[in-house]
Structure 1
């Protein structure tokens, strides 16, 4: 073949042995034409700007030898690329996976928990190639904390399982998921005694009237938010994130949008007179719909620890969430309100998905009676 740089005319030029140079207006490239197992094929070898004639001849010779031995040179080339390509590790993929799904998390705390648990507890297999991860690798992450930190260990295992499921869906893994619990990891992990299952520490409901009397003597917006959360049996985040646009003072109703609820469904809370009095105590003229009800001293939302700090200062070894348990125990032990009404007040899912689809009633008036009874008990 003439010197490549001297070829100017658009066309096809043969160097022999199946090697060709194709010149187009857009550029020039090498390719190889051959047959394998009786089938003709064409295989690109790269741009003539990057590959010299000598290198193109070497590539053509490699392709010719593969074809003579009955192997498709294109398949062999792809296989070689995969063998020499850096393998994707669990740590790298986990970071990318969380970045893809974190917009669906309800709050920044949940997003941070995903990052922290996978970075901290997934570290033993962070550098292990995704395709090579086996049961032993997962156990190295989970076993050290399985009994000492049961809740964290369960979350770590579940998140690892999701990451590996996603890796398989994207073609980075094959076979069963080594992080699955049922019928697999449960065979290797020690059974936890019931004593290791920790529930939110709750205040005995018999102590609630005395506790509320003490709480009402305390000043500060966090104390008001805690009192309101107890009177409405709300979760801490629901009360702390409350804005005035969610409240209808005339209708005595608080509507929590789906985006702020654990079950991602809108929740309506009938407000007792006692709960309304808390709102009136923090209400000011000129407030906009998007203004936070329980505004932190420095602006914005109260932190997750603000309400817990009130309990700590009161010397109570209980949690904010445990107040919901006190409400549930009180309703079940001392009242005749139907179970469904109580569960709806707690924003718990009731029955199967089919049952919920047919259930249109909100039992709002029954729940209003329930919340008034709870307020009367708490503040006799």
Structure 2
């Protein structure tokens, strides 16, 4: 724990001097309004000082992270000053390149989600480095903390970094494939989807009632995840122009889908009620249906915390498994329809070419039954329509 606090920094700014936070981090105050951060670290047996920026632009938490990051680079035999120094003909930092990339590639909720990932996980660690200096080891260290704890987030972070490099470096397209493999080789194996804890479907209705009683935007979003059988990120990033509540359909754009294809989600009456309840949480400046208090995309941890608070031994992703098992054991629809409801890819490319339909009407019947079941209204057995048999 560092010695400095926000209050002690405010007091220190009145008196010139050097104020230590611990672990080599110092606040240098030269006069009124003139203060900056410095990291004093050992390198090859010598003491070196590294400027980390003005206190006006670099907050305490960021300064601590930069100090730790510089120490890691030195231990790895890399010079932080070289990594942050512009390369001849290349003047973009990773932050500049990433900002340009996401603003040109994404829009709406997808842009908000990309910004949130950058600001939360990536920029504090590698944002100030020149994009030309980013290598596989640095990428791996950046995403290691979430790689196994939140596999989907880890993969999205890796892909965002590598796509930024592809966009921002002349040799980016040539590096893309080898860089992705080199990063993966430096990281532990991620848990398989089978390791996502799923709540037995028989216990889902009771949980939905508890979530309704709990209230709050996190519980509301989690109810939407359960009722739609959608992925957490698809629900958290959903915005109002994607839904037609009168028609009871939610169209997730391709850019927000794992398979990069648009997906129409039929909304049961119970799911529509959840989306209408979300209207009370509308915030100025955002179109998100389930916004955080700050108007940004809810983090996956928000939904995880709801489950932890209720002492539920399951993951958010696991509710898709709960739905799939229920569909197999309690309805008469084919596996093909159930898989389509989950927006899973058809494994055989030739078979996929013949399946031009998204089975919307049949999925609507299935989701209506799921909605009734999860809210205590029954929903056991969806009749087989011609062509539904597996």
Larger radius of gyration: 1
Find the residue that maps to 2:213 and give its secondary structure: coil
Tell me if structure 1 keeps the 8 A contact 2:121–2:143. Answer: no
Q: Which whole-Å deviations, capped at 9, do the CAs of 1:251-298 have from their partners, x for residues lacking one?
A: 4433444455454543322232333444566679xx9xx996957697
Q: Which position in structure 1 is the counterpart of 2:101? A: 101
Partner residue of 1:372 out of 354, 368, 377: 368
Greater mean alpha carbon deviation, residues 334-343 or residues 347-356: 347-356
Give the alignment of 1:233-272 within 5 angstroms: 233-240=229-236, 241-243=238-240, 246-249=243-246, 251-258=247-254, 261-272=257-268
Q: Which whole-Å deviations, capped at 9, do the CAs of 1:164-200 have from their partners, x for residues lacking one?
A: 65576x269989976352xx677x748x467698954
Deviation at 1:98, TM superposition (A): 1.7
Give the alignment of 1:49-64 within 5 angstroms: none
Greater mean alpha carbon deviation, residues 360-369 or residues 171-180: 171-180
Change (3 A) 1:365 1:258: same
Q: Which position in structure 2 is the counterpart of 1:273? A: 269
TM-score scaled to structure 2, two decimals?
A: 0.53
Deviation at 1:367, TM superposition (A): 0.8
> In angstroms, what is the RMSD of aligned CA positions?
4.9
Change (3 A) 1:115 1:92: farther
Deviation at 1:210, TM superposition (A): 2.2
Tell me if structure 2 keeps the 8 A contact 1:341–1:367. Answer: yes
Q: Which whole-Å deviations, capped at 9, do the CAs of 1:356-378 have from their partners, x for residues lacking one?
A: 55533221221122112322332
Partner residue of 1:214 out of 210, 213, 216: 210
Tell me if structure 2 keeps the 8 A contact 1:160–1:179. Answer: no
Unaligned runs of 5+ in 1: 1-84
For 2:298 and 2:357, how far apart are their aligned partners in 1?
Answer: 34
Deviation at 1:231, TM superposition (A): 1.4
Greater mean alpha carbon deviation, residues 114-123 or residues 228-237: 114-123
Q: Which position in structure 2 is the counterpart of 1:179? A: 179
Answering whether residue 233 of structure 2 is matched by residue 229 of structure 1, we say: no
Find the residue that maps to 1:179 and give its secondary structure: helix
Q: Which position in structure 1 is the counterpart of 2:115? A: 111
Change (3 A) 1:247 1:161: closer
Change (3 A) 1:372 1:94: same
Q: Which whole-Å deviations, capped at 9, do the CAs of 1:316-367 have from their partners, x for residues lacking one?
A: 2433333223212322444442222112212233346665555332212211
Find the residue that maps to 2:223 and give its secondary structure: helix
Tell me if structure 2 keeps the 8 A contact 1:226–1:307. Answer: yes
For 1:92 and 1:363, how far apart are their aligned partners in 2?
Answer: 47
Tell me if structure 2 keeps the 8 A contact 1:223–1:310. Answer: yes
For 1:221 and 1:144, how far apart are their aligned partners in 2?
Answer: 30
Unaligned runs of 5+ in 2: 1-84, 379-390
